[in-house]
Amino acid sequence: MSLIEKAGLLALHRLDPEKAHDLSIRALAAGLAPLPGAAFTSRHLETEIAGLRLPNPVGLAAGYDKNARIIGPLTRAGFGFVEVGAATPRPQPGNPKPRLFRLTQDRAIINRFGFNNEGAQAICARLAARPPSEVPVGLNIGANKDSTDRAADFAEVARQAAPHADFLTINVSSPNTEKLRDLQGARALAALIQGVISARDETGARPPVLVKIAPDLDTAALTELAAVLRDSGAACVIATNTTLDRSGLTSAHAQETGGLSGAPLFDRSTRILARLYRLLDGRLPIIGVGGVGSVDQAWAKLQAGASAVQLYSALIYQGLSLADRIARGLAARLRTENTTLADLTGSKADRWAA
């Protein structure tokens, strides 16, 4: 991490977390943040997931650039793929503030944003106008809080976004919209995925549809969900979203309501990832997210069954350059250990799933 980045992080951490988040977006939009300019890549890192060619397997998770305002800078920040959103059909303000909390001692954050965004029309217009890039850019899609037909909301966003996004992620795992996680049930999820795929196909475009799941599923629920996913038409799974669990936290804001992400989520999300990998039996690739903040942790996610990883919370503590550092570190380790991403994926799933 450069001295400029260290100074920037120190300054941001003196601000309210949501104000710091918004300021970082404005700084990137204004070109004030140093960026590598392109995703680091090599023959060891190039990979294909769900038909998407990635220069490296280190992506940005949804939630940072909610309104697709800085797609250009993010595709030059070292990520191998970028996910923006979540977008809902209509704009909505989200939950009352404060709704974002740093848990510095735990290297974590808690958020209860509640899908605050400017709406699908504005977000999709920015996706359509984004600069050309070899880095795939996808959209996380959701439902309005006051919707009477949430499945129809997902389909509507998919219909608007499909011609402009490289992939679409169905977000049924956020804990911050009441009863949203109910859509992870087998019957509801199968119908939801089919509705999104049908809406996508109406446009003539065919970006792959991904599904993001929660880390708080018990064995029976995960087994049922895997059975649905295998035959659903989804192209990939993202495991996992934030957790409601608060075990072992020591920071002052530990009991705030909302989704917990960051370092404490790593073990829980990686166990879910490994169990899902075994249940899917190679039928779908998995993107591992939850607590990744180092090369070793990215490596462990891959061993547990991921074909790629995503970052978000660790960037708050280690800076945007973390993506480039992890990508370079993975390439060096793959060379040193004379292995490939394909061979690494799932190589220790049994250990993590135990």
Residues serving a catalytic function are: 174
Measured in residues, the chain has a length of 354
Instruction: Characterise 304 by phi-psi region: left (phi > 0), alpha (psi -120 to 50), beta (else).
Output: alpha
Cα-trace Rg, the chain: 19
Terminal-residue alpha carbon distance, the chain: 36
The 3-class SS string of 202-242 reads: HCCCCCCEEEEECCCCCHHHHHHHHHHHHCCCCCEEEECCC
Give the full edge-to-edge strand order of the sheet including 100-103: 100-103, 108-111, 259-262
Other C-beta atoms closer than 10 Å to the C-beta of 185 total 15
Alpha helices by DSSP H, the chain = 3-12, 17-29, 71-75, 120-128, 150-161, 186-202, 219-230, 266-280, 295-304, 313-318, 322-336, 341-344, 349-353
Quick check: 261 and 109 in contact, CB under 8 A?
yes
Nearest-angstrom CA–CA distance, 149 and 297: 39
83, 118 Cβ separation under 8 angstroms: no
- The answer for 37, left when phi > 0, alpha when psi is -120 to 50, beta otherwise, is left
Tell me phi and psi for residue 93, to 5 degrees: -80, -15
